[in-house]
Amino acid sequence: MSRLKAVVRNNYVILSKMTVVTLIMYFSLAWLSSNYRLGLDLVDGESCLPYTAYIIDLNDKNITRGDFFAFESKGMGPFYPDKTQVIKIATGMPGDKVTVDENVRVNMQKFGETNHLKEGGKLYKLGKRLKDYLRDETIPEDKIFALATHPRSYDSRYWGYVSKEQVIGRAIPLF
């Protein structure tokens, strides 16, 4: 009978340890998922950013110029439905001067061109023309001008500013 007690006690110890490990894993994953999210730049064709995978810090919404950040899309049709998670680079901040014509400039520094509006471009094919996107203005409070590094990126040069309410968090490049 003592051998049976030893087996039962041993099984009880193993079950207890497994329960503790399971609970630790559960609460660790719950904490991670409430504080962080995975962001992927998976587009058909060429990626518009230099990295493919990002960790998004849901608690860090204090975005500064040059930061990668994630936000929920709004008014980015026809390419992204509202509420799609998007990652771009904060290129212009409140008070900065933005000029969009054939070129895209923030504080007089050129960041690209308006390639989607050139003949054969995606927006050109949809009937959009450069005159629809011209701007020479100061970025308003609580807005961010978001660009990407690829010349054909669909970004703020076409759909305007990201409101700070749309920001999900800072995106930390992984690879």
Tens of pLDDT along 102-116? Answer: 899 999 999 988 888
Is residue 85 domain-shared with residue 161, that is, in the same domain? yes
Q: Are residues 77 and 102 in the same domain?
A: yes
Domain check: are 91 and 134 in the same one?
Answer: yes
Q: Same structural domain for residues 81 and 158? A: yes
Q: Are residues 6 and 58 in the same domain?
A: no
Q: What is the reported pLDDT for 99?
A: 96
Average pLDDT over residues 79-108: 94
Q: Tokens standing for 96?
A: 């900065």
Whether the predicted pLDDT of 20 surpasses 70: yes
Instruction: Judge if 18 and 83 occupy the same domain.
Output: no
**β strands within 34-119, DSSP E:** 36-40, 53-57, 68-72, 85-92, 97-100, 103-106, 109-113
User: Strand order in 103-106's β-sheet?
Assistant: 109-113, 103-106, 97-100, 135-138
Q: Which residues does residue 169 pair with via DSSP β-bridges, in sequence order?
A: 70
* Rounded mean pLDDT, 68-96: 93
Q: What average pLDDT does the segment 60-80 reach?
A: 93
**pTM for this predicted structure:** 0.82
CATH number of the domain that 68 lies in? 2.10.109
Asked whether residue 15 falls in the same domain as residue 54, the answer is: no
Count the neighbouring beta carbons within 10 Å of the beta carbon of residue 160: 18
156 and 90 co-located in one domain: yes
pLDDT for residue 1 is more than 70? no
Res 32 pLDDT > 90: no
74 phi and psi angles, rounded to 5 deg? -155, 120
What confidence category does residue 138 fall into, taking pLDDT thresholds of 50, 70 and 90? Answer: very high
What is the span of the domain harbouring residue 4?
Answer: 1-36
Query: Same domain for 69 and 132?
Result: yes
Per-residue pLDDT, averaged over 20-40, amounts to 88
Q: What is the total count of domains within the chain?
A: 2
